[in-house]
Amino acid sequence: MFNKDQAHQLIGKVLKYSRLPECTVTLTETERVFVRFANNGITTSGFTSRRQVSIASTRDRKTGVIETSEIEDAALRAAVARSEELAAIAPENPEYMSSLGPQEYTDTGDYDEETAGARSPVLIPQISAIVDQTVAGKLVAAGFFERSLSASTVANKAGLFGYHRSTYAYLSTTVRTPDGTSSGWAERPCIRIREINGAMLGESAIRKCLRWKNPRRLEPGKYTVVLESTAVGDLVGNMAWAFQARGAEEGRTFLSKDGGGTRLGEKLFPEIITLRSDPFGGKLPALPWTWELIPNRPVTWVDKGVVRNLFYDRYWAAKTNHPPTPGPRPLVLDGSDASLEELIRSVDRGLLVTRFWYIVAVNPKTLQLTGLTRDGLFLIENGRIAAPVMNFRFNESPIRMLQHTQRLGRPSRSRGEGGDMIAAPLVATDFTFTSISDAV
């Protein structure tokens, strides 16, 4: 993998080949180590390395883009020429924005040397810690452990340059009974691989699996729910792009006012709700720049229930005379110091949800979603887990869910279906379950 100077030299060479007024080059390198296990044994392990050069050439508001994995001089020269040929026949972009000049990018602190160098001998003992427990308990474990190292470099003919390295590690496991009628699940995504504890993940998944035997059938309806962090991330992560100013101003999101305008400045949620993005928290992977190459920075989208900011891309910002804003990634839903157990104790009757899956949008404007519960759904009575419950299909909006949130717990990182985020577990009332699912 190239260091900063090597990447700068390679991209500089590509830019010298360019003959058009504007050229932006992005170099993306990824190294990945993974181990997959099933049936209490390792099934696959691998090491992959990928390098991709993307070249975008622009003239007269028309852009041609080409990607190549070859970095020899002749191949790069040919790629630049091809991008220029594509630019000549491309349609004019009515929302074209000229290239940015030099920018100041701040490192986001999501690189860890130990994680970058980890190989199978580091990963396998954590998997063994899970499998040893399931074998002893006459259960079956499956899962996936990966770590990745990424380097991103970007430069253009206007003098912009950025270089960033990041690391990522993720272990998840599903534990089932031999007949497959009960399951439990646990995950740990992180930047630093030393934060992963296979034994603790195994214990959590096994506990869920054993608790979920012979689930009770409940009628669909509206329930008070305790959502674990992953379940919260599954839903709230889908809110991110609803903060787009253009969509709100054009009447296409939950932040659009009837008759025109936006709901910026309105109190739409309880005071306990604060939703923000923080690329410098050191817990979530984030580039120092946005997809439009403006410097990334923290933004609070909802502050104590009040909508404080909208996301303006460069085009819409120029059109509406507003400064451009970084997008709402990665998201953080702040919480409290309360444990999940304390949240459960606060509920007289409700459901504990481990996570959701197979989520699809029903109504983009209201962000109404539908999907299924999975890997642990439990009835809560008098502040205690009383019984396992058959899975439900839900039909609910994360907007409405946050509006009905009564308590928040201790935030943790999750890799849900809504993307990586820091999410607090929560207690919400009036959550809609529409039908029963026979799936495990």
**Per-residue three-class SS string for 157-199:** CCCCEEEEEEEEEEEEEEEECCCCCCEEEEEEEECCHHHCCHH
Percent of the chain with pLDDT over 90: 96
Task: Return the pLDDT at 440.
Answer: 78
**CB contact set of 369 (below 8 Å; sequence gap of 6+):** 235, 238, 359, 360, 361, 362, 394, 395, 396, 397, 398
47 burial type by CB count under 10 A (0-12 exposed, 13-18 middle, 19+ buried): exposed
Q: Where are the domains of the chain?
A: 4-209, 214-440
- 231 vs 375: CA distance, rounded Å: 11
Residue 438, pLDDT above cutoff 90: no
Residue 335 confidence class, pLDDT cut points 50, 70, 90: very high
pTM comes to 0.94
Residue 15, pLDDT above cutoff 90: yes
Task: Please give the residue that has the higher pLDDT: either 438 or 103.
Answer: 103
In this prediction, residues 279-289 reach a mean pLDDT of 90
Residue 70 confidence class, pLDDT cut points 50, 70, 90: very high
Task: Return the pLDDT at 314.
Answer: 98
Beta-bridge partners for 93:
none
Q: What is the pLDDT of residues 207-228, one digit of tens each?
A: 999 999 999 999 999 999 999 9
Q: What is the pLDDT of residues 28-59, one digit of tens each?
A: 999 999 999 999 999 999 999 999 999 999 99
**CB contact set of 205 (below 8 Å; sequence gap of 6+):** 130, 141, 173, 174, 175, 184, 185, 186
**CB contact set of 307 (below 8 Å; sequence gap of 6+):** 255, 263, 264, 265, 266, 268, 301
Query: Which CATH number applies to 4-209: 3.30.2290.10, 3.40.50.2300, 3.90.1150.10, 1.10.150.120?
Result: 3.30.2290.10
Residue 283, pLDDT above cutoff 90: no
- 81 vs 87: CA distance, rounded Å: 10
Burial track 64-74 (b if 16+ CB lie within 10 A, e otherwise) = bbbebeeeeee
Tally of CB atoms within 10 A around 390 = 17
Structure tokens at 351: 């459901």
Which has the closest alpha carbon to 389: 230, 182, 126?
182
Task: Return the pLDDT at 230.
Answer: 95
Q: What is the pLDDT of residues 373-393, one digit of tens each?
A: 999 999 999 999 999 999 999
Residue 439, pLDDT above cutoff 90: no
Task: Return the pLDDT at 418.
Answer: 78
Task: Return the pLDDT at 59.
Answer: 97
Looking at the chain, how many residues does it have?
Answer: 440
User: 């104790």: which residue's tokens?
Assistant: 345
Q: What distances in angstroms separate CA 185 from CA 144, 212, 291, 394, one per listed residue?
A: 12, 11, 34, 19
Q: What is the pLDDT of residues 106-159, one digit of tens each?
A: 999 999 999 999 999 999 999 999 999 999 999 999 999 999 999 999 999 999
Residue 350, pLDDT above cutoff 90: yes
In this prediction, residues 162-175 reach a mean pLDDT of 97
Residue 417 confidence class, pLDDT cut points 50, 70, 90: confident
H helix runs in 96-255, sequence order = 113-117, 120-136, 198-211, 229-236, 245-249
Report yes or no: 369 and 238 within 8 Å, Cβ to Cβ. Answer: yes
